[in-house]
A and B are shown apart, each in its own frame.
Chain A
Amino acid sequence: MDFEAVIGLEIHVQLSCATKLFCDCPNSPGDAPNINTCPICLWLPGAIPRLSEEAVEKAAMVCLALNCRIQNESAFDQKVYYYPDLPKGYQLSQHHRPLGKNGWLEAAGADGNSRRLRIHHVHMEEDVAKLVHEIEGRTPISLVDFNRAGTPLVEIVTEPDMRSSQDAMGFLRALRAQIRYTGSSDCSMEQGSMRVDANISIREKGSDQLNTKVEVKNMNSIRNVCDAIDYEIHRQIACVQSGEPVVLHTRLWDPDKHVTTAMRGKFAGPCIPDPAVPHILITETRLQRLKEKLPEMPDQKARRFVRDYALPQETAALMSAERDLSEYFEAVVRLGPSSKTAAYWISAHLLPALKDHGQSPADARVTPERLAGLLVMLENDEINAGSAKSVLSQMFENDRTPERIVEQSGFRQVSDADALQDIVLSVIEKNPSAVENYRNGKTQAVGFLMGQVMRATQGKANPKRVQEILQKALAAS
C-alpha cells in the first residue's frame, strides 16, 4: 500500500512586546528568575488582568501578515488545567472566539512549486511559567520561574494541508519571514520565540480520510521539525504495516537520538469564557488603522525591487525574503553602487561571510556604508574583484573603512596604460613559447600571458585593460 502523510501545525509565536499580556511587567523571560513578576502575573487574590493594547496590535499584525480575517469581536477563555506552571488553574486563551480566522500562506512544497496552505485561525494567549526540574541530588525538586508567566503569545493553527516534511518546512519559512516583517516577533526556534507542534497522521494515498493523529513536540529548529515529521511518518507506516493501531497521544522529539518518544495521552481541558477580560473589539476604523501600520510585505517588496531596481525576479525575491536583508540591500543601493552589483555581492559574498561569523544583516560588522564604499571602488575600477573579496574579508576583522584597507594593502588597481604597456611587453619578451603557441592558434595562451601580467602586478592590474593591451601587443608583434 502507498501511504501519504497528513500534517497540520500548531505554532506558538512569542510577541515582541515591551510588557506581558495582562500586566506591566517586562516581557523578558530570560532575566534572573522571578524578577519580572507582580500580583497580576502571580495571580494573587484580588488582582485583575489588564489586556495590553500593544499585544492586541502585534497579534493583529500577525493575522494580517497571514491573510486572516480579523474578527470584529474576539474574547478570552479560561483553559482549565492544574499544573505547577499554571498556578491559577487556567490559561487565558482565545478558544471560542479567536482574533483571526481563515488565513493562508503561499509556500514552496517538496516539488519546488508554490502552493497555498490554509490557516484555520490565529488566537492570542498567555504563556505559562517555566518549570526547572533539578533531578540530581538526594531530593529531586522542581523550581518555578514566573518571568515567562503571562508573556504574550499568538498560536497559529493550520489546516491539515501539508503532505510532507518539505511542505512543513516551506510553510514555516514563509510564516517566519511574514511575521518577522511585521516586527511582531523575531520567530527564533532556537531562542524559543517560535515553537512548533506537528500533528501527523497517515492514510492510503488518494484517500480523503483523516486518521488518528499523533502530536510531536520539542523541536528547536525548522530542520528538527522536518526530521521529526519524517521519523513520525515512518514510525506510523511501520505501525500500520505490522498491524498495530496508531493511538492518539503526544510524542517528544529527541534531537540527539533523532527519535520521537511517547510522552502522554492528549489532554483537552474545558474552556470557559473569562468573565474579567473585556472583549476585543476591532471596528472597521481600527482595522483600517492597523492595515496602514502593516509594513510593505515580501511579495510587494519583491515586485517593487523588480520595478525600481530592475532586478531579475529571482534576485528580487531573494533580496526581499527577510526584512533586515531587504533593508540592508536598499541601504547599500542608496549609497551609490548599482542594484545589480549590490545584489550579487550581498548574495554571493556577504551572506556566506555573515553566516561564518554568526552575524545577521542587522548586526553585521560590515555595515551597508562599508559595503557600499567597497562596491563603489569596484565599480569605478579602482580595485578589481579579487582585491574586493580580500577587502571584504578584512572588513569582518576590523572597523577600518574599505578605502583605508585598499590603501594599506596596496590594492589600488593599476589601470595606467603606460605602466601596463611596459609590463605586457616584458611578459611577451619573457615568454616566447606562449607567444608562439598563440600564433599557432592556441587562444588559451592569452590566459597564461594574462596570468603572468597579473602576477607581475601582484593582482592589482585592471584585468580589462590588461586584456586590451595584450591583444593589441600580440597583434603588433
Chain B
Amino acid sequence: MDTELFAHLNPSAEAALNGPLAGKTLVVWPSISVRGWPAEAGSTALKGFAALEDATVVERLKKAGAVLAGSSQMSELGFGLAGDTAALILERGSVDAALVADALGEARAAAARVRRFGFKPTHGTISRCGLIGLIPSMECVGILADSPAAISRILAGMAGLDERDPSMLERPKPDFPRISEARGAVGVIQESEERLSPEASAGFKQALSKLESRGFRIVRTGLADFDLFSTVHNVVGSVEASSSCGKYDGVRYGHRAAGAKNWNEMYLRTRAESFGLPVKSYLFQGAYFQFENYGAFENACRIRRRLVEGIEGIFKTVDMLAFPTLSGEFRADEARSIEAVYDAFSLTLPASVTGHPALQIPGLAVESKQDFGLQLVGPYGSDAGLLDLADRMLADL
C-alpha cells in the first residue's frame, strides 16, 4: 500500500464478511468525518481536530460491510484539487473507491485525472451530516471508482433520508439499480464548447460520435447565460464559504496564533495564519459581497434560479446533457488562485450550481493520448438511471 499518499491509515482495517459492500475498501477525504480520525480538511484552521462522530455516509458504508482504508491528502477545505491524493490512491489500486467532496466538480475532475469514473449525485440525495464543507448549497459527497456499477453500489449504500440532515430533499430513496431503456437525446450546450482547447474539443467530438454510433441522438442546444455559471458559483460560493468558515477561530480546536494581547487580535492573527492563499482570498471575496456588495450576491442568487430554469427547460427536450469534464489539460492540482480554480472546473461547476447528478466517464473523450473525460448530466433524481445507462453503454462499446 502506498502509505505516503495517505494522511491517516486505518489501524484496524478488517474486512467485514457480510453486507452488500463486504470486502470493498475505500479511501476518504479527511473532510468526511470518521469517528476518532483526524478531520483537518486540509487546513491549518482545523489542525488537530478529530471527528467526534461518523458522517452519515461513513456510518452507512460501514454498516454495508465496506472497509475504510484511511484518509488521503486533500486541498484546503476541499476548494479545488491542489494536493489531492485520493485519486492517486485509487489509481494505484490500493482501494476500490474514493469519497471526495464535490463543490466545483472535484470528484469528477479527480476521476478524469486518473481515467476513472467520478460521480456527483443529485444535491440533497446524500446526507451532508459530518461533511466539513465550504459551500453547503452546492457541495456533496462524490464517488470515484472503476465502474458505474461500483459507484451505483456505493451510492445505494449511502443514499436515503437522514434525520440528521434536514436540508435533504424529501424524496424517497431511489430504487437502486433502476433499469433504464433510455437511449435517447443527448444535449450539447454550444456555449460550453467555446471554452475548449483544440485537443479537448477534438476529444469531445470523438466521444459524441461514439455515443451516436451506439444509437444516441446528439442535439445541439444553446444557453445564452452559460458564461454566468462561473460567476454565480464564484459569488454565491464565496459568500457561503465565508459564513461556513466563520467558525474557525482557533479557540476550541485548530491553530491559534501565539502572543495576542486581546481577543480581537487573537482572532485576526489566528485567521491570518490559518488559511492558505486561495481559500483566504475566497473568504475575503465572500466577506466583500456580504458586507460591501450584498446587491451583487442577490443578483447572483436570482441568476442562479434563472440558470436552473434554463437547464430544466433543456431537459424537456433531451434526456441528458454532455460536457467534457476538463476543458483542457488537467491543471486543477496546480490551481492556487480563485481564477485558476474556477478555470479548471468551468465545465463541472454548472451541475454544482444547479444540483443535477453528473457522471464523469473515462476513455471516450480522448485525443492525442489525453483523456478529457466525458460528463453526462441527468435530470434531478436520475442518478441510478444515469449510472445504469453508462454501465450498459460501455458494455456495448
Contact = CB atoms under 8 A, between A and B. Distances in A.
A276 to B, nearest CB: 5
A43 B243 CA distance: 12
Given A39-B53, A82-B267, A276-B167, A87 B132 contact: no
Contacts of A49: 166
A43 B167 contact: no
B51 interface: yes
Interface string B238-257: 01100101110101100000
Given A39-B53, A48-B164, A275-B136, 16 more contacts: A39-B52, A43-B247, A45-B46, A46-B33, A46-B51, A46-B129, A46-B133, A48-B167, A49-B166, A80-B243, A82-B246, A82-B249, A87-B249, A90-B243, A270-B291, A272-B290
A277 interface: yes
Interface residues of B, number: 38
A467 to B, nearest CB: 75
Interface string A60-97: 00000000000000000010101010011110000000
Nearest to B43: A45
B243 A78 contact: yes
Please report whether the interface of chain A is mostly helix, strand, loop or mixed according to DSSP: loop
A400 B172 CA distance: 63
B239 A89 contact: no
A278 B137 CA distance: 11
A44 B166 contact: no
Given A50-B166, A275-B240, A277-B167, A44 B52 contact: yes
B263 to A, nearest CB: 6
A51 interface: yes
A476 to B, nearest CB: 89
Nearest to A86: B246
A387 B294 CA distance: 73
B41 interface: yes
B119 interface: no
Contacts of B130: 46
Contact of B132 (A45, A82, A276): A45
A183 interface: no
A275 B137 contact: yes
B294 A45 contact: no
Contacts of B239: 272
Nearest to B239: A272
Please report whether the interface of chain B is mostly helix, strand, loop or mixed according to DSSP: loop
Interface in B126-152: 128-133, 136-137
Interface residues of A, number: 28
B389 interface: no
Across the A-B interface, the 5 shortest Cβ-Cβ residue pairs: A89-B246, A275-B137, A45-B132, A88-B247, A275-B136
Given A46-B51, A89-B246, A277 B166 contact: yes
A273 interface: yes
A42 B49 CA distance: 14
B246 A80 contact: yes
A270 B290 CA distance: 6
Interface string B191-210: 00000000000000000000
A188 B133 CA distance: 40
A142 interface: yes
Given A48-B128, A273-B301, A84 B263 contact: yes
Interface in A10-60: 39, 42-51
B252 A46 contact: no
Interface of B: 33, 39, 41, 46, 49, 51-53, 55, 128-133, 136-137, 163-167, 239-240, 243, 245-247, 249, 251-252, 263, 267, 290-291, 294, 297, 301
Nearest to A274: B243
B69 to A, nearest CB: 21
- Among A49, A90, A269, max chain B CB count under 10 A is at A90
B167 A90 contact: no
6 contacts: A39-B52, A45-B49, A49-B166, A84-B251, A90-B243, A278-B167
Contacts of A47: 129
Contacts of A89: 243, 245-247, 249
Interface of A: 39, 42-51, 78, 80, 82, 84, 87-90, 142, 269-270, 272-273, 275-278
Given A270-B290, A270-B291, A276-B167, A45 B247 contact: yes
Contacts of A78: 243
A142 B262 CA distance: 11
A220 to B, nearest CB: 27
Contacts, number: 79
A47 to B, nearest CB: 8
Contacts of A276: 136, 167
Nearest to A42: B252
Contacts of A87: 247, 249, 251-252
Contacts of B243: 78, 80, 89-90, 272
B372 to A, nearest CB: 31
Contacts of B128: 48
Nearest to B33: A46
Nearest to A22: B166
Contacts of B129: 46-48
Contacts of A269: 291
Contact of B131 (A39, A43, A46): A46
Contact of A272 (B49, B166, B297): B297
B246 A88 contact: yes
A212 to B, nearest CB: 23
Contacts of A50: 163-164, 166
Contacts of A275: 136-137, 167, 240
B11 to A, nearest CB: 22
A82 B287 CA distance: 12
Contacts of B251: 84, 87
A50 B164 CA distance: 7
B59 to A, nearest CB: 12
Contacts of B294: 270
A84 B249 CA distance: 9
Contacts of B249: 82, 87, 89
Nearest to A278: B166
Contact of A51 (B166, B247, B297): B166
A288 B134 CA distance: 39
Contacts of B164: 48, 50
A25 B239 CA distance: 29
Given A90-B243, A272-B297, A276-B136, A80 B167 contact: no
Given A80-B246, A82-B267, A273-B301, A48 B33 contact: no
Contacts of B52: 39, 44
Nearest to B132: A45
Contacts of B46: 45
B139 to A, nearest CB: 10
Nearest to A89: B246
- Among B164, B166, B294, max chain A CB count under 10 A is at B166
B8 to A, nearest CB: 16
A142 B263 contact: yes
Contacts of A39: 52-53
A278 to B, nearest CB: 5
Nearest to B55: A46
A265 B51 CA distance: 40
B41 A45 contact: yes
Contact of A45 (B39, B165, B263, B290): B39
Nearest to B138: A275
Nearest to A96: B298
Contacts of A43: 247
A80 B290 contact: yes
A84 B52 CA distance: 23
A48 B246 contact: no
A275 B103 CA distance: 14
A416 to B, nearest CB: 75
